[in-house]
Amino acid sequence: MKLPMLSAQDKLAEIRRLYFSATRDTIDRDLTKALDLLKSMASEEERERATVYMEGLAQMRADWNRGRHGKKPAPERKHERKKKG
Please check whether residue 1 lies inside any domain of the structure. Answer: no
Tell me the whole-structure pTM to 2 decimals. Answer: 0.73
Please check whether residue 37 lies inside any domain of the structure. Answer: yes
**Domain count of the chain?**
1
Per residue in 23-71, pLDDT tens? Answer: 999 999 999 999 999 999 999 999 999 999 999 999 999 999 887 665 5
Please check whether residue 40 lies inside any domain of the structure. Answer: yes
Please check whether residue 83 lies inside any domain of the structure. Answer: no
Nearest to 4, CA basis, from 26, 24, 29, 33: 33
Containing structural domain, residue 36: 8-69
Q: How would DSSP label each residue in 11-51?
A: HHHHHHHHHHH--TTTHHHHHHHHHHHHHT-SSHHHHHHHH
Please check whether residue 39 lies inside any domain of the structure. Answer: yes
Tell me the C-alpha distance between 74 and 21, whole Å. Answer: 34
